[in-house]
Structure 1
Amino acid sequence: MPYTAAETRYDADIYRRAGRSGLVLPRISLGLWHNFGEDKPREVQKAIVFRAFDRGVTHFDLANNYGPPYGAAERTFGEILRHDLARYRDELIISTKAGYDMWPGPYGDGGSRKYLTASLDQSLRRMGLDYVDVFYSHRRDPDTPLEETMGALASAVRAGKALYAGISSYSPQDTARAAAILRDLGTPLVLHQPRYSMLDRRIEQGEPSLLDVLGAEGIGAVVFSPLEQGLLTDRYLDGIPADSRAAGGRFLTTSAITPERLGVVRRLAPIAAARGQGIAQLALAWVLRHDAVTSAIVGASSVAQLDTDLDTLENPDLSPAELDAVEKALAGHDE
C-alpha cells in the first residue's frame, strides 16, 4: 500500500524562521545520523520517516558518511523518497554535509573544493536527487583556506545543486568570516549546525559567543545532540541497559556517564515532572528557548521515541521560574 501523508500534517504551527532568511524549519527536525544504516530494519526506518512527516516534520538531516556503512543513510532515505515521498519533494527540506572522512586518499576528507564538490555529487546520486535544500561544510578544515571551502558552497548553490549554504561546528570567529565571504560571493550563510545541550553550552560562551554571532549575522542555528546521545533522558538513571547506545560504545561511551552528569539528570527530573514532561522533553524545550535556535535535531529508533520528542512542542515554553530551577540543577543545587 503506497504511503499517503496525513492531511493534518500542518495543523500544528511548529515552524520557526532561520535567521533573516526566507527558510522556515520545524522546531524539531529528524536526523538520520543513527538508525538509518544497513544494520536496522527498513520497515522501522520507513515508519519513523512517515510518522515524522505526518506530524509536520519537513526537515530531514543527513551527511555523506552517516550509516553504517558510510553512505547508507543517504541510500536508505533515497529509497524511501523514491518509493513513497517523491510526490511530496517540494514539501521537504533535505540537508547533507561533507567535511569528515568519507573515502580513502587525500580527496575524501576536509574542506577542499575537490572534496566538497565530489561528495555532493555522490550524495545526490545516492538519494536520487537533482538538488539538496541545504549543503553544509561539516567542519572547519584548518588546512584549507576558508575562502576555498566557502567558494565550494557558493558554487554548489550557483550550480543549482543546493538551495542554501550552511556550516557546522565552526567557531564564532570562523562563522563571522564565513558569513562575510559568502555574502561577498552573493550566497548568504543561512544555517549553522552546532552541538548544544544542557551539558554542552559552548555556543553560549565567549566574547562574542556563537549565539551572538548568529544573531548579528541573521543566521539560524540547527542544534545537534540536544539530548547528549540519550544521556538527558531517564534511560541511564538505573544503570546501562544492555541494548542501549552506551552499551554499544559507538557514540555514547560509558565514560561519559559520570556520577556528576547523572546527578544533573536526577535534579532535572522533578522540574520536568512538574511540567508534565519527561527529562528529554524538558531538555528539548530548553535548547529551543533561544530565538536564534531555529530547530533541534533528534534521532529516533522507534515511532514511540519520535512521538515523545515531538510532544515537546505541545508545551515548549519555559517560565522564568523554570529556567531558574534548571540553572540551579545544572549548577549542582537541589531545589
Structure 2
Amino acid sequence: MYRANEQRYDKMVYNRLGVSGLKLSAIGLGLWNNFGSVDPFDTQRAIVHQAFDLGITYFDLANNYGPVPGSAEENFGRIMASDMKPYRDEMVIASKAGYVMWPGPYGNWGSRKSIIASANQSLKRTGLDYFDIFYSHRPDPATDPEETALALDQLVHDGKTLYVGISNYNGAQTKVMTDIFRDLKTPFIIHQPRYNMLNRQVEDDVLPILTAENKAAVSFSSLCQGLLTDKYLHGIPANSRANKGTIPFLEPAQVEQTLTTVKRLNEVAESRHQSLAQMALAWNLRQPAIASVLIGASRPEQVVANVQALDHLAFTATELERIEQILAQQTPINWKA
C-alpha cells in the first residue's frame, strides 16, 4: 500500500495561476511519453509515486496519449484507483482534447461534439469524477472559436472540470479565446505552449498576452524532448528518439545542428553547479508568466534530478547574457518538419 512522503510539501515551489485561486507545483509531470500500453506499468506507478513524494501535484494528460491512444489515461486511472485515491484532493489533474483520437469526423479538432465526447471518454478512462483543468489541445481552423469555448464552458457547468485552458494557440488566437471566456465568465486560467531554450516564439507572441490578461502558462517540451539534457552531449545515442524517427523535429540532421549549442549551454550549467536539464527548467521558470514546467520521465530517478532544479532558480545578469549569446548563434529548428 502506497503511503505518501509526509515531507512532500517542504521544498516544492507552488505558483499561483494569474489572479485565480489555483496554484500549481513549479514542476509538473507530463504523461505524453512513457505511460502508454507499451510501457512497464510498475515503472509508471513508481514515477507517479516519486513525483508526488517530491511535492509535484500537477499531472498532465491528454486523450490521445499512449501509445495506444487513451492508454496513458487508462494507466493513470489504474494508479489513481490502487494508490492515489486518498490524495485526489491534493492533486491537480488535467486532460485535453483536440488531436486525433478516434476514426471519423468527430474524433479530432474542437467542435462541441468532439470536446464534450472527448471529456466524457477521458473521465471514463481515468475513473475520475472530474478534471481540475480541461484543455482545448489546439485551435480548430474550421470551427468558430466561440463553439470551442462554449463546449469547455459547458464542461464547467456540468461539473466535469473546475477550470479550462488552451494549448498551442498563438497570441492572436489566445486573445480571442480570452475575450470569449471573459464574456462567458468561464474560469479560463492557463495556456500550455511549447517553450524551451531552443523554441522561444511565445516570448514575443503568447506570453505578453497572458501577462496583460493576468493568465498563466505551463510549458511543455521544456527539455526539448531530451535535447536540453546530457543525452546528446556526446552525439546521438542509438536508443534515442532522434534515431527512432518518432518525433519530426528530432531528425538526426536537425539534432546535429544543436550539438554545439547544447555543449556550450552545458558549460554554463556546470558553472552554476547544475545539470543542463536543471538549468533549462530554471531558465523557463525565470519567465513571470510561466507558473509550471512539465517534465517527462522514464524512471523515478529522472524526476528526482529534475526537481533539484528548484534548488538554484536565480540567474545572474552575466549568466543570462552568456546564454543569450549562445542561443543567438543557433540555427533555428524546423519544428514542423
Task: Please classify the TM superposition score into its range, dividing by the shorter chain length.
Answer: over 0.9
Counterpart in the other structure of 1:327: 324
Looking at structure 1, the residues matched to 137 and 246 of structure 2 have their Cα atoms a distance apart, in angstroms, of: 20
Q: Equivalent of 1:226, from 214, 222, 225?
A: 222
CA shift for structure 1 position 22: 0.7
1:306 aligns with 2:303: yes
Q: After superposition, what is the alpha-carbon deviation per residue over 1:198-225, rounded to whole angstroms, capped at 9, x for unaligned? A: 10000012xxx21110001111100000
TM-score (norm 2): 0.95
- Classify the secondary structure of the residue corresponding to 1:29: strand
Tell me how many residue pairs correspond in the alignment.
Answer: 328
CA offsets per residue over residues 62-107 of structure 1, 9 Å max, x none? 0000000000000000000000000100000000000010000010
CA distance in 2, matches of 1:331, 1:297: 25
Q: Is the contact between residue 60 and residue 95 of structure 2 (CA under 8 Å) also seen in structure 1?
A: yes
Q: Distance in 1 between matches of 2:68 and 2:130?
A: 23
Secondary structure of the structure 1 residue equivalent to 2:218: strand
Matches within 5 A, 1:98-109: 98-109=97-108
Q: Is the 8 A contact 1:178 1:189 kept in 2?
A: no
1:10 CA drift (Å): 0.6
Superposed CA RMSD: 1.1
The correspondence of residues 147-166 of structure 1 with structure 2, limited to 5 A, is 147-166=146-165
Mapped partners of 1:287, 1:138: distance in 2: 21
CA contact (8 A) 1:232 1:265 kept: yes
Structure 1 unaligned regions, length at least 5: none
Q: Is the 8 A contact 1:224 1:298 kept in 2?
A: yes
- Which residue, out of 265, 268, 273, partners 2:270? 273
Residue 329 of structure 1 and its aligned partner are, at CA, apart by 1.2
1:132-211 correspondence to structure 2 within 5 Å: 132-205=131-204, 209-211=205-207
Q: Separation in 1 of the partners of 2:254 and 2:30? A: 22
Whether contact under 8 Å (2:207, 2:289) holds in the other structure is: yes
Give 1:95's aligned residue. 94
TM-score (norm 1): 0.96
Give CA deviations for 1:269-308 in whole Å, capped at 9, x if unaligned.
1110011011111111111101100101010001111111
Q: Is the 8 A contact 1:165 1:189 kept in 2?
A: yes
Matched residue of 2:232: which SS?
coil
What is the DSSP-based 3-state SS (H/G/I as helix, E as strand, rest coil) of the residue aligned with 1:257? helix
8 Å contact from structure 1 (residues 5, 54) kept in 2? yes
- The Cα of 1:13 is off from its aligned counterpart by 4.1
Shift of 1:332: 2.7
Query: What does 1:117-132 align with in structure 2 at a 5 Å threshold?
Result: 117-132=116-131
CA drift at 1:233? 1.3
Q: Which residue number corresponds to residue 290 of structure 1?
A: 287
The partner residue of 1:245 within 241, 244, 266 is 241
Letter paired with 2:232? Y
Q: What SS does structure 1 have at the residue aligned with 2:163?
A: strand
Runs of 4+ in 1 over 6 A off after TM superposition: none
Distance in structure 1 (CA, Å) of the matches to 2:189 and 2:251:
33
What is the percentage of aligned positions where both structures have the same residue? 52
2:19 is matched by which residue type in structure 1? Answer: R
- SS of the residue 2:231 aligns to: coil
1:253 and 1:67 map into 2 onto residues whose CA distance is 21
